[in-house]
Structure 1
Amino acid sequence: MRQERNMVILGMGYLMEYIYPCYKHMLGEAAGRCMAAVTADGADLARKQEKFEFPVILDDNAGALEQMEPEIILFAPPPAVAPGLIEQVLAPYYRKVRERGGKLPVLYAFPPKPEGRDYLEMLGNDILVANILPNMVSRIAGETLAGEGLTYLTFPDEGPWPKEERDYLLEFFSPLGGCIEVKPAHVMQMLAGTVTVHNISEIILTVSDALERSGNPVDFHRIAGAMRAYHQKKWSYSPAGSAPCREDEVE
């Protein structure tokens, strides 16, 4: 599935640095010539330029698109900035590509809003776009999460993706673990659940601290393992490749 495709990142911030293994997985040594990234953070520009083998440009989204003629655009600005960039940068570029008869870039959109259907309305219903929430938890206590970590993909209901493009997207994010599709109608519930789940780590640490103060110390890893085991038993759900866990680890 690996193949050289020109890619441009619009919004080279923490998230796009985090998914660096995905670029390398798909492009290998070609990343240096097949990619370019744009950042609005002038104070951190030098560090990013030194860290990555591909060009990192300051505040020239349109120039990066014209220079690279990307097959994939990774769109990752802050949500508040996204609508303006869609109107001022993406829409004019997609019009130019159509006018010269080129292939329209596939759009990987990382802000949870706008939704896919909004991109179709603003950029044209002939584009391919997906909202993506990458898996941000791939290792815990040095252990790789083979089953629990998932990247969430949301495709607009208005148009199916060709199989080859969907397969490429799945392979692109495979270094971060598995992928799951979330329908547009359920995105906000999924985000709410994901945010809530992040509080569980604080609960586990609080329980561990309380047990220690009461003279019954239990390592927080064991508490987490017991919680995971109870959850899997309760819902008859154990993800493939899940790390071992036991319900009786905490007396």
Structure 2
Amino acid sequence: MRRLYSLLIILTFLAVQFALLPIGLVFAALDPTLEPNELVEKMIPYQIITFALGAIIVIVIGNLHKNKNRIELGKQSDPLLTTVWIIGGVVLAYLSQIVASLINISILGNPVESENTMEIVDMIFSSPFMVLVVVLFGPIIEEYVFRRAIFAEIFELFKANSRTQKVIAFLIAGLVSGLIFAVAHADFTHILVYLSMSYVFSFLYVMSGRLLVPIIVHILMNGIVVLIQTVFRDYLEQAAELQDQLNTILTTFFM
């Protein structure tokens, strides 16, 4: 029965992702002269409503079933330890993101900035209410889907009679859910970053026994990224210009 609820959560996620397609087709049919960016702006209010409904639905579905998974049936952290996991989780998430980004840029040669992130930031500038989707509704839906409905269900398929078995189950479940997480964001040049974040969120879920922990960490992570990319965007651009100038000077002297 629990798997049925997990399936419903995944179907809700898919419905949220594709709900805007018919709306976009209607707008395009009514006004064929619409530019792509104009079409995106017109659809933003519908996207906010869709994600808000999706978040409510997954929360309701997620709390309907009483047959909890092995993670949530285990020992759950108390309020104090939960707070520690949240704070430590943000630090751990940023450290893993930095390491993954360095490998992604220096070794794999992928671009610094994520196209997915830039597109989201542009939508926030077009409609500040998009912050609700990025910082609140999105993380709630994604954690119910990728941690509760996918990671936990795959984790359940493996025996966990020893520490080794638990680690193997975690690595496999984390890899599968992480790859799906990356594909869902349609940003394949930063798949390593998404995979690392998925492992961190899954780790926090397993260690705390509470889905609330990765949800709050995910919300805080997205909130900090949005804050940096919007409020401090000018400073980032100035820093990038200074870095380019410094690279030019160093190249001139050491070539």
Global fold match (TM > 0.5): no
Select the structure with the greater relative contact order (CA < 8 A; seq sep ≥ 6): 2
Q: Which has the higher strand share?
A: 1
TM-score by length of 1: 0.31
TM-score by length of 2: 0.30
